[in-house]
Amino acid sequence: MPSTRDIRRRIRSVKNTAQITKAMQMVASSKMRKAQLAALAGRPYAILMNQVIVSASQNLQDFIHPLMEKREIRKRGVLAVATDKGLCGALNSNLAREAMKWDKDTTVFVAAGKKAAQFIARTRRNLAAEFTYRDAPLFAEARVISKKLQEMFLNGEVDCVDVIFTRFINTLAQRVEVRRLLPIGELQNLLNVPSIMLESQAAPQQQDIAGSQVEQLFEPSAEQVLSAVLPHFLNFIVYQALLEAKASEHSARMVAMKNATDNAMQLIKDLTLEYNKLRQANITKELLEITTAQMALG
């Protein structure tokens, strides 16, 4: 049976843990709102870019851009977007569980985030490159990652490229998503699917633009416009995936740390109750010993 000293020591330890989890909850909460706004702000732009690409591709004659070339899939490239730190609930484990569905012998991974690289190394999978990104992802970081993926596809190292990331839904819900990045030729139906990242939450007028069938003219030509827009489109899709992952990370960490703080406070209450009961029992025992001794002397 633990002594009162042991219980006091454990209460002090749990209080210190609760202070840490509370501080982490506040930090994640302060970062969460900014990350959520950044992720939501990028979606209308993705909708309009989808519309431009679909419209331009519909005006092509016999032109096929190298990034739109369809091949038999023998080797698959996967961009895994995870976090750099843990303590964010089941966020990384859910993503790892989805990534394990691919055959390790025919899949080449590109990791964005230390947790993704650790998972790939731990499961002995093929890691082509590893990247990190900030709490507020920069477009330049996404451009570097996208350039590596495009080089792998154009050089014939992989026949397709998928991106797996955690899609931000709301503060309490995040979901692992897998989206085809290359070849872009498989994105021809995006006119009816405004956003490849999420169901559209854009303004109604933006949805009308994305879903309209208005004929568009391209100057100097649809081929040249497409050649200029496609690399930027891929850069932005990777950037949007980073924003979604970061918003999901801060939301999941805030919820996880809040739960940890609440559990610590409940544990402190239980330990305090146990301490008081043990202390009362010791006092009662001492009183009985004193009373018994007095009766024996009397």
Flag whether pLDDT at 204 surpasses 90: no
Better-predicted residue by pLDDT, 217 or 11: 11
Three-state SS at 223: helix
Question: How far is it, in rounded angstroms, from Cα 233 to Cα 225?
Answer: 12
Q: In the chain, list all ranges with CATH 1.10.287.80.
A: 4-24+254-297
Percent of the chain with pLDDT over 90: 51
pLDDT score at 59:
65
Least confident of 17-21, 56-60, 237-241: 56-60
The listed CATH number (3.30.1390.20, 2.130.10.10, 3.40.1380.10, 3.10.290.10) that belongs to domain 25-252: 3.40.1380.10
Q: What is the CA radius of gyration of the chain?
A: 28
Q: In the chain, list all ranges with CATH 3.40.1380.10.
A: 25-252
213 contacts 47 by C-beta, under 8 angstroms: no
Question: How far is it, in rounded angstroms, from Cα 121 to Cα 117?
Answer: 6
Question: How far is it, in rounded angstroms, from Cα 203 to Cα 212?
Answer: 14
175 contacts 205 by C-beta, under 8 angstroms: no
What mean pLDDT comes out for the span 104-126?
Answer: 93
Whole-model pTM: value is 0.81
Q: What is the Cα 92 distance to its own chain's centre? A: 7
Q: Which fold has domain 4-24+254-297?
A: Helix Hairpins (1.10.287)
- The pLDDT-based confidence of 25 (bands split at 50, 70, 90) is very high
Q: pLDDT tens across 161-172, in order?
A: 999 999 999 988
